[in-house]
Structure 1
Amino acid sequence: MDSSVNASINLGKNYAVLNLDWITVLIDAVKDTPEGQALIENLAKWNNAVHASASRPLTVFSTLSFYPGQPEVQSGTPFANLIAPFGEFRHGSPETQIYKAFNVDSQDIVLPKTRWSAMTGSVLEQILHAHGVKTVIISGLTLSGVVMATIYRLFDLDYNVYVIRENVLELPVEQHSAFANVMLDMLLPKMGIKVISVDEAINALNRSKCQDTL
Protein backbone atom coordinates (compact mmCIF):
# COMPACT_ATOMS: atom_id res chain seq x y z
CA MET A 1 0.00 0.00 0.00
CA ASP A 2 1.24 3.51 -0.78
CA SER A 3 3.21 5.03 2.10
CA SER A 4 1.38 8.32 1.50
CA VAL A 5 -1.94 6.78 2.58
CA ASN A 6 -3.59 8.73 5.40
CA ALA A 7 -3.65 6.44 8.44
CA SER A 8 -5.66 8.86 10.60
CA ILE A 9 -9.08 8.17 9.06
CA ASN A 10 -11.41 6.77 11.70
CA LEU A 11 -14.72 5.42 10.47
CA GLY A 12 -15.94 4.52 13.93
CA LYS A 13 -18.12 1.49 14.61
CA ASN A 14 -21.40 2.62 13.05
CA TYR A 15 -20.64 3.20 9.39
CA ALA A 16 -22.08 2.05 6.10
CA VAL A 17 -20.78 1.50 2.58
CA LEU A 18 -22.99 3.09 -0.09
CA ASN A 19 -22.41 1.75 -3.60
CA LEU A 20 -24.50 4.04 -5.77
CA ASP A 21 -25.87 2.88 -9.12
CA TRP A 22 -23.22 0.31 -10.06
CA ILE A 23 -25.77 -0.87 -12.59
CA THR A 24 -25.20 -2.50 -15.95
CA VAL A 25 -26.72 0.23 -18.12
CA LEU A 26 -24.37 2.88 -16.70
CA ILE A 27 -21.26 0.70 -16.52
CA ASP A 28 -21.87 -0.43 -20.12
CA ALA A 29 -21.77 3.23 -21.14
CA VAL A 30 -18.18 3.60 -19.88
CA LYS A 31 -16.62 0.13 -19.84
CA ASP A 32 -14.77 0.55 -23.16
CA THR A 33 -13.07 3.78 -22.10
CA PRO A 34 -9.84 4.05 -20.07
CA GLU A 35 -11.76 5.99 -17.42
CA GLY A 36 -14.45 3.33 -17.24
CA GLN A 37 -11.98 0.48 -17.05
CA ALA A 38 -10.14 2.20 -14.21
CA LEU A 39 -13.45 2.76 -12.42
CA ILE A 40 -14.45 -0.91 -12.73
CA GLU A 41 -11.06 -2.00 -11.40
CA ASN A 42 -11.22 0.32 -8.41
CA LEU A 43 -14.85 -0.44 -7.59
CA ALA A 44 -14.07 -4.17 -7.64
CA LYS A 45 -10.96 -3.62 -5.49
CA TRP A 46 -13.00 -1.77 -2.87
CA ASN A 47 -15.97 -4.14 -3.02
CA ASN A 48 -13.74 -7.20 -2.65
CA ALA A 49 -12.02 -5.66 0.37
CA VAL A 50 -15.38 -4.98 2.02
CA HIS A 51 -16.56 -8.53 1.36
CA ALA A 52 -13.30 -9.99 2.68
CA SER A 53 -13.57 -8.08 5.95
CA ALA A 54 -14.15 -10.27 8.99
CA SER A 55 -16.42 -7.59 10.43
CA ARG A 56 -18.36 -6.40 7.41
CA PRO A 57 -20.05 -3.02 7.53
CA LEU A 58 -23.61 -2.45 6.40
CA THR A 59 -23.37 -2.36 2.61
CA VAL A 60 -26.08 -0.93 0.35
CA PHE A 61 -26.14 -1.05 -3.45
CA SER A 62 -28.61 1.41 -4.95
CA THR A 63 -30.27 0.76 -8.31
CA LEU A 64 -32.32 3.12 -10.44
CA SER A 65 -35.44 1.42 -11.82
CA PHE A 66 -39.09 2.04 -12.60
CA TYR A 67 -42.32 0.18 -13.26
CA PRO A 68 -43.18 -0.39 -16.95
CA GLY A 69 -43.91 2.93 -18.62
CA GLN A 70 -42.11 4.87 -15.87
CA PRO A 71 -45.25 6.00 -13.99
CA GLU A 72 -42.94 7.40 -11.29
CA VAL A 73 -41.48 9.94 -13.74
CA GLN A 74 -43.27 12.97 -15.16
CA SER A 75 -42.50 13.22 -18.87
CA GLY A 76 -40.69 16.30 -20.09
CA THR A 77 -39.12 17.12 -16.73
CA PRO A 78 -35.37 17.72 -16.44
CA PHE A 79 -34.92 14.35 -14.70
CA ALA A 80 -36.92 12.51 -17.37
CA ASN A 81 -34.89 14.14 -20.14
CA LEU A 82 -31.62 13.32 -18.39
CA ILE A 83 -32.26 9.58 -18.06
CA ALA A 84 -34.00 9.11 -21.43
CA PRO A 85 -30.82 8.42 -23.47
CA PHE A 86 -29.96 5.44 -21.26
CA GLY A 87 -33.22 3.53 -21.78
CA GLU A 88 -36.26 2.56 -19.74
CA PHE A 89 -34.59 1.43 -16.49
CA ARG A 90 -37.37 -1.13 -16.21
CA HIS A 91 -37.53 -2.75 -12.78
CA GLY A 92 -36.06 -6.27 -12.87
CA SER A 93 -34.47 -5.85 -16.30
CA PRO A 94 -30.83 -6.93 -16.87
CA GLU A 95 -29.66 -3.36 -17.39
CA THR A 96 -30.78 -2.30 -13.91
CA GLN A 97 -28.94 -5.14 -12.17
CA ILE A 98 -25.60 -4.65 -10.42
CA TYR A 99 -22.84 -5.04 -13.02
CA LYS A 100 -21.47 -8.58 -13.27
CA ALA A 101 -17.90 -7.67 -12.22
CA PHE A 102 -19.09 -6.73 -8.72
CA ASN A 103 -19.79 -9.38 -6.13
CA VAL A 104 -23.12 -9.09 -4.32
CA ASP A 105 -24.18 -11.64 -1.69
CA SER A 106 -26.92 -12.24 0.84
CA GLN A 107 -25.40 -9.84 3.38
CA ASP A 108 -25.66 -6.91 0.98
CA ILE A 109 -28.77 -4.79 0.56
CA VAL A 110 -29.78 -4.03 -3.03
CA LEU A 111 -32.06 -1.02 -2.84
CA PRO A 112 -34.23 0.21 -5.75
CA LYS A 113 -34.89 3.93 -6.03
CA THR A 114 -36.74 6.22 -8.42
CA ARG A 115 -34.64 9.41 -8.42
CA TRP A 116 -30.95 10.26 -8.64
CA SER A 117 -30.58 10.57 -4.89
CA ALA A 118 -30.37 7.26 -3.05
CA MET A 119 -32.31 8.97 -0.26
CA THR A 120 -35.34 9.69 -2.48
CA GLY A 121 -37.83 7.06 -3.59
CA SER A 122 -36.19 4.46 -1.33
CA VAL A 123 -35.99 3.40 2.32
CA LEU A 124 -32.27 4.14 2.70
CA GLU A 125 -32.81 6.77 5.38
CA GLN A 126 -34.78 4.30 7.50
CA ILE A 127 -32.11 1.62 7.03
CA LEU A 128 -29.29 3.91 8.12
CA HIS A 129 -31.30 5.08 11.13
CA ALA A 130 -32.23 1.53 12.14
CA HIS A 131 -28.56 0.52 12.16
CA GLY A 132 -27.41 3.60 14.04
CA VAL A 133 -25.15 4.64 11.17
CA LYS A 134 -23.23 7.89 11.67
CA THR A 135 -20.69 7.68 8.83
CA VAL A 136 -21.02 6.64 5.18
CA ILE A 137 -18.46 5.87 2.47
CA ILE A 138 -19.65 6.64 -1.06
CA SER A 139 -18.73 5.26 -4.47
CA GLY A 140 -20.79 5.53 -7.64
CA LEU A 141 -21.77 7.09 -10.91
CA THR A 142 -22.64 9.57 -11.99
CA LEU A 143 -20.71 12.12 -9.94
CA SER A 144 -23.09 15.00 -10.70
CA GLY A 145 -26.13 12.72 -10.40
CA VAL A 146 -26.59 10.09 -7.72
CA VAL A 147 -23.35 10.91 -5.89
CA MET A 148 -23.91 14.62 -5.37
CA ALA A 149 -27.69 14.30 -4.93
CA THR A 150 -27.18 11.73 -2.17
CA ILE A 151 -24.39 13.71 -0.53
CA TYR A 152 -26.52 16.83 -0.20
CA ARG A 153 -29.26 14.93 1.64
CA LEU A 154 -26.77 13.14 3.91
CA PHE A 155 -25.10 16.48 4.62
CA ASP A 156 -28.43 17.99 5.66
CA LEU A 157 -28.98 15.03 8.02
CA ASP A 158 -25.57 15.53 9.69
CA TYR A 159 -23.90 12.33 8.54
CA ASN A 160 -20.13 12.09 8.28
CA VAL A 161 -19.47 11.51 4.58
CA TYR A 162 -16.43 10.09 2.82
CA VAL A 163 -16.15 9.90 -0.96
CA ILE A 164 -13.64 7.59 -2.65
CA ARG A 165 -11.98 9.64 -5.38
CA GLU A 166 -11.19 6.78 -7.79
CA ASN A 167 -14.66 5.30 -7.31
CA VAL A 168 -16.75 8.08 -8.82
CA LEU A 169 -17.16 9.01 -12.48
CA GLU A 170 -19.02 11.64 -14.47
CA LEU A 171 -20.84 10.92 -17.74
CA PRO A 172 -19.87 11.43 -20.43
CA VAL A 173 -16.36 10.52 -19.28
CA GLU A 174 -14.84 13.39 -21.29
CA GLN A 175 -16.36 15.73 -18.72
CA HIS A 176 -15.06 13.90 -15.67
CA SER A 177 -11.85 15.86 -15.08
CA ALA A 178 -13.64 19.20 -15.16
CA PHE A 179 -16.43 18.02 -12.86
CA ALA A 180 -14.02 16.29 -10.47
CA ASN A 181 -11.90 19.41 -10.22
CA VAL A 182 -14.87 21.45 -9.07
CA MET A 183 -16.74 18.88 -6.97
CA LEU A 184 -14.01 16.71 -5.44
CA ASP A 185 -11.29 19.33 -5.08
CA MET A 186 -13.30 22.44 -4.21
CA LEU A 187 -16.98 21.94 -3.38
CA LEU A 188 -16.85 18.87 -1.12
CA PRO A 189 -13.86 20.04 0.95
CA LYS A 190 -15.66 23.37 1.41
CA MET A 191 -18.61 21.40 2.84
CA GLY A 192 -16.30 19.50 5.20
CA ILE A 193 -16.78 16.24 3.30
CA LYS A 194 -13.69 14.06 3.09
CA VAL A 195 -12.44 12.89 -0.31
CA ILE A 196 -10.12 9.90 0.11
CA SER A 197 -8.32 7.37 -2.07
CA VAL A 198 -9.41 3.77 -2.44
CA ASP A 199 -6.28 2.67 -0.57
CA GLU A 200 -7.11 5.04 2.28
CA ALA A 201 -10.63 3.60 2.39
CA ILE A 202 -9.33 0.02 2.53
CA ASN A 203 -6.81 0.97 5.22
CA ALA A 204 -9.58 2.58 7.29
CA LEU A 205 -11.76 -0.50 6.76
CA ASN A 206 -9.01 -2.78 8.03
CA ARG A 207 -8.28 -0.59 11.06
CA SER A 208 -11.97 -0.44 11.90
CA LYS A 209 -12.03 -4.24 11.80
CA CYS A 210 -9.11 -4.37 14.23
CA GLN A 211 -10.84 -1.92 16.59
CA ASP A 212 -13.94 -4.12 16.64
CA THR A 213 -11.87 -7.02 17.98
CA LEU A 214 -10.46 -5.04 20.90
Structure 2
Amino acid sequence: MKDAIYLVLDMMNDLVHADGPNGKGAYGEQVRSRRVLENTRVALDKARAAGLPVGFVRVGFSADYRECPPSSPIFSGARKNGIFKLGTWGTEVHPDLGQQTSDFDIVKHRVSPFYSTSLEAILRAHGIRTIYCSGISTNAVVQATVREGHDRDYEMVVLEDGCCGLSDEEHDNAIKGLQRFCRITTSQDVVFG
Protein backbone atom coordinates (compact mmCIF):
# COMPACT_ATOMS: atom_id res chain seq x y z
CA MET A 1 0.00 0.00 0.00
CA LYS A 2 1.31 3.43 -0.91
CA ASP A 3 1.17 6.11 1.77
CA ALA A 4 0.65 8.96 -0.72
CA ILE A 5 -2.15 10.27 -2.92
CA TYR A 6 -2.36 12.75 -5.79
CA LEU A 7 -5.29 15.15 -5.42
CA VAL A 8 -6.41 17.08 -8.51
CA LEU A 9 -8.29 20.14 -7.29
CA ASP A 10 -11.29 21.75 -9.03
CA MET A 11 -10.27 20.81 -12.57
CA MET A 12 -13.90 20.86 -13.69
CA ASN A 13 -15.42 21.91 -16.98
CA ASP A 14 -17.06 25.03 -15.50
CA LEU A 15 -13.60 26.28 -14.51
CA VAL A 16 -11.07 24.93 -17.02
CA HIS A 17 -12.78 23.70 -20.20
CA ALA A 18 -12.49 26.05 -23.17
CA ASP A 19 -16.29 25.84 -23.57
CA GLY A 20 -16.97 26.46 -19.88
CA PRO A 21 -17.95 29.87 -18.48
CA ASN A 22 -14.58 30.44 -16.79
CA GLY A 23 -12.65 28.78 -19.59
CA LYS A 24 -13.55 31.72 -21.82
CA GLY A 25 -12.06 34.24 -19.40
CA ALA A 26 -8.94 34.79 -17.34
CA TYR A 27 -8.84 31.26 -15.90
CA GLY A 28 -9.03 29.77 -19.38
CA GLU A 29 -6.23 32.00 -20.61
CA GLN A 30 -4.03 30.96 -17.67
CA VAL A 31 -4.90 27.25 -18.06
CA ARG A 32 -3.90 27.38 -21.73
CA SER A 33 -0.79 29.59 -21.43
CA ARG A 34 0.57 27.61 -18.46
CA ARG A 35 -0.42 24.26 -20.06
CA VAL A 36 -2.15 23.28 -16.82
CA LEU A 37 -4.23 20.48 -18.36
CA GLU A 38 -1.26 18.93 -20.16
CA ASN A 39 0.98 19.19 -17.09
CA THR A 40 -1.71 17.69 -14.87
CA ARG A 41 -2.16 14.77 -17.26
CA VAL A 42 1.62 14.12 -17.20
CA ALA A 43 1.49 14.07 -13.39
CA LEU A 44 -1.57 11.82 -13.37
CA ASP A 45 0.10 9.31 -15.67
CA LYS A 46 3.23 9.31 -13.48
CA ALA A 47 1.20 8.90 -10.29
CA ARG A 48 -0.77 5.99 -11.75
CA ALA A 49 2.44 4.35 -13.01
CA ALA A 50 3.86 4.63 -9.47
CA GLY A 51 0.74 2.95 -8.07
CA LEU A 52 -0.56 6.01 -6.21
CA PRO A 53 -4.27 6.45 -5.66
CA VAL A 54 -5.76 9.51 -7.35
CA GLY A 55 -8.50 11.74 -6.05
CA PHE A 56 -10.46 14.38 -7.93
CA VAL A 57 -11.84 17.16 -5.76
CA ARG A 58 -14.82 19.02 -7.22
CA VAL A 59 -16.86 21.92 -5.92
CA GLY A 60 -20.56 21.52 -6.48
CA PHE A 61 -24.04 22.25 -5.21
CA SER A 62 -27.51 20.79 -5.53
CA ALA A 63 -29.69 22.25 -8.29
CA ASP A 64 -31.34 24.56 -5.75
CA TYR A 65 -27.94 25.55 -4.25
CA ARG A 66 -29.07 24.53 -0.76
CA GLU A 67 -25.42 24.04 0.34
CA CYS A 68 -24.21 27.33 -1.13
CA PRO A 69 -23.54 29.99 1.50
CA PRO A 70 -25.54 33.06 0.43
CA SER A 71 -23.12 35.56 1.95
CA SER A 72 -19.95 34.05 0.46
CA PRO A 73 -18.12 36.44 -1.88
CA ILE A 74 -16.49 33.55 -3.72
CA PHE A 75 -19.59 31.36 -4.15
CA SER A 76 -22.34 33.99 -4.58
CA GLY A 77 -21.62 34.06 -8.32
CA ALA A 78 -22.31 30.33 -8.65
CA ARG A 79 -26.03 30.68 -7.95
CA LYS A 80 -26.29 33.89 -9.99
CA ASN A 81 -24.54 32.35 -13.01
CA GLY A 82 -26.02 28.86 -12.69
CA ILE A 83 -22.64 27.12 -12.42
CA PHE A 84 -21.23 24.38 -10.18
CA LYS A 85 -24.47 22.34 -10.31
CA LEU A 86 -23.80 18.73 -9.43
CA GLY A 87 -24.91 16.23 -12.06
CA THR A 88 -24.20 18.60 -14.95
CA TRP A 89 -21.40 18.77 -17.52
CA GLY A 90 -19.94 21.78 -15.69
CA THR A 91 -19.02 19.83 -12.55
CA GLU A 92 -17.51 16.88 -14.41
CA VAL A 93 -13.72 16.54 -14.44
CA HIS A 94 -12.18 17.84 -17.69
CA PRO A 95 -12.16 14.88 -20.13
CA ASP A 96 -8.47 15.30 -21.03
CA LEU A 97 -7.51 14.24 -17.51
CA GLY A 98 -8.81 10.70 -17.96
CA GLN A 99 -10.68 10.22 -14.71
CA GLN A 100 -11.11 6.51 -13.89
CA THR A 101 -13.85 4.75 -11.96
CA SER A 102 -11.29 3.66 -9.35
CA ASP A 103 -10.34 7.28 -8.59
CA PHE A 104 -11.70 8.92 -5.47
CA ASP A 105 -14.37 11.57 -6.11
CA ILE A 106 -14.47 14.17 -3.35
CA VAL A 107 -17.28 16.72 -3.61
CA LYS A 108 -16.98 19.88 -1.54
CA HIS A 109 -19.26 22.83 -0.86
CA ARG A 110 -16.57 25.22 0.37
CA VAL A 111 -13.02 26.18 -0.63
CA SER A 112 -11.26 23.56 1.51
CA PRO A 113 -11.54 19.92 0.43
CA PHE A 114 -11.27 18.91 4.11
CA TYR A 115 -14.39 20.77 5.25
CA SER A 116 -17.43 18.44 5.56
CA THR A 117 -16.20 15.98 2.91
CA SER A 118 -15.08 12.35 2.77
CA LEU A 119 -11.42 13.33 2.30
CA GLU A 120 -10.17 12.77 5.85
CA ALA A 121 -11.85 9.34 6.03
CA ILE A 122 -10.26 8.33 2.71
CA LEU A 123 -6.81 9.45 3.83
CA ARG A 124 -7.05 7.61 7.14
CA ALA A 125 -8.51 4.43 5.63
CA HIS A 126 -5.61 4.19 3.19
CA GLY A 127 -2.81 5.18 5.56
CA ILE A 128 -1.98 8.30 3.53
CA ARG A 129 0.79 10.48 4.94
CA THR A 130 1.79 12.51 1.86
CA ILE A 131 -0.56 14.54 -0.31
CA TYR A 132 0.57 15.67 -3.75
CA CYS A 133 -1.77 18.26 -5.20
CA SER A 134 -2.38 20.70 -8.02
CA GLY A 135 -5.33 22.58 -9.48
CA ILE A 136 -7.04 25.91 -9.70
CA SER A 137 -6.96 28.27 -8.25
CA THR A 138 -3.58 28.46 -6.60
CA ASN A 139 -4.71 31.14 -4.14
CA ALA A 140 -7.95 29.38 -3.17
CA VAL A 141 -8.31 25.58 -3.20
CA VAL A 142 -4.58 24.86 -3.47
CA GLN A 143 -3.73 27.16 -0.57
CA ALA A 144 -6.61 25.82 1.52
CA THR A 145 -5.56 22.22 0.86
CA VAL A 146 -1.91 22.83 1.70
CA ARG A 147 -2.50 24.84 4.84
CA GLU A 148 -5.15 22.54 6.26
CA GLY A 149 -3.25 19.40 5.23
CA HIS A 150 -0.12 20.78 6.88
CA ASP A 151 -2.01 21.48 10.10
CA ARG A 152 -3.36 17.90 10.05
CA ASP A 153 0.25 16.64 9.90
CA TYR A 154 0.33 15.52 6.27
CA GLU A 155 3.42 16.09 4.17
CA MET A 156 2.23 18.43 1.42
CA VAL A 157 3.70 18.64 -2.09
CA VAL A 158 2.44 21.11 -4.73
CA LEU A 159 2.95 20.54 -8.45
CA GLU A 160 3.33 24.19 -9.37
CA ASP A 161 2.91 23.79 -13.14
CA GLY A 162 -0.46 22.12 -12.61
CA CYS A 163 -1.81 25.24 -10.89
CA CYS A 164 -2.89 28.73 -11.91
CA GLY A 165 -4.70 31.79 -10.67
CA LEU A 166 -6.50 34.55 -12.52
CA SER A 167 -3.08 36.04 -13.40
CA ASP A 168 0.60 35.13 -13.25
CA GLU A 169 1.00 37.56 -10.36
CA GLU A 170 -1.82 35.98 -8.35
CA HIS A 171 -0.34 32.51 -8.91
CA ASP A 172 3.23 33.57 -8.07
CA ASN A 173 2.14 35.32 -4.87
CA ALA A 174 0.20 32.24 -3.79
CA ILE A 175 3.16 29.93 -4.42
CA LYS A 176 5.46 32.24 -2.44
CA GLY A 177 3.02 32.14 0.45
CA LEU A 178 2.85 28.35 0.38
CA GLN A 179 6.58 27.62 0.45
CA ARG A 180 6.62 27.58 4.26
CA PHE A 181 4.02 24.81 4.41
CA CYS A 182 4.93 22.43 1.60
CA ARG A 183 7.45 21.24 -0.93
CA ILE A 184 7.11 22.76 -4.42
CA THR A 185 7.91 20.73 -7.53
CA THR A 186 6.60 20.30 -11.10
CA SER A 187 4.94 17.58 -13.15
CA GLN A 188 8.26 17.00 -14.90
CA ASP A 189 10.41 16.77 -11.74
CA VAL A 190 8.06 15.01 -9.34
CA VAL A 191 8.96 11.53 -8.15
CA PHE A 192 5.85 9.97 -6.64
CA GLY A 193 6.29 7.61 -3.74
Normalised to the residue count of structure 1, the TM-score between the two structures is: 0.79
> In the alignment, which residue of structure 1 is the partner of 2:145?
150
Give the drift of 1:82: 5.2
Give the drift of 1:31: 6.9
> In the alignment, which residue of structure 2 is the partner of 1:128?
123
> In the alignment, which residue of structure 1 is the partner of 2:105?
110
Q: Does 1:178 align with 2:169?
A: yes
Matches within 5 A, 1:1-214: 13-28=2-17, 29-30=22-23, 35-37=30-32, 38-51=35-48, 53=49, 55-81=50-76, 83-84=78-79, 87-171=82-166, 175=167, 177-184=168-175, 186-191=176-181, 193-201=182-190, 204-205=191-192, 208=193
Give the drift of 1:155: 1.3
Give the drift of 1:49: 2.4
State the AA in 2 paired with 1:160: E
CA separation in 1, counterparts of 2:172 and 2:88? 34
Q: Secondary structure at the match of 1:137?
A: strand
Q: Secondary structure at the match of 2:37?
A: helix
Q: Work out whether residues 25 and 86 of structure 1, in 8 Å CA contact, stay in contact via their aligned partners in 2.
A: no
Q: Secondary structure at the match of 1:16?
A: strand
Query: Which digits, 9 at most, give the CA deviation of each residue in 1:27-59, with x for residues without a partner?
Result: 1223785532211111122122223x1x42121
Give the drift of 1:84: 4.9
Q: 1:86 to 1:141 in 2, by over 3 A?
A: farther
Identity %: 22
Q: Secondary structure at the match of 2:76?
A: helix
For the pair shown, which has the larger CA radius of gyration, 1 or 2?
1
Structure with greater helix share of residues: 1
* Between 102-111 and 126-135, the greater mean CA deviation after superposition: 102-111
Q: 1:128 to 1:31 in 2, by over 3 A?
A: farther
Aligned residues: 185
In structure 1, list runs of 5 or more residues that go unmatched: 1-11, 209-214
State the AA in 2 paired with 1:94: W
RMSD over aligned CA atoms reads 2.1
Normalised to the residue count of structure 2, the TM-score between the two structures is: 0.86
Q: Secondary structure at the match of 2:162?
A: strand
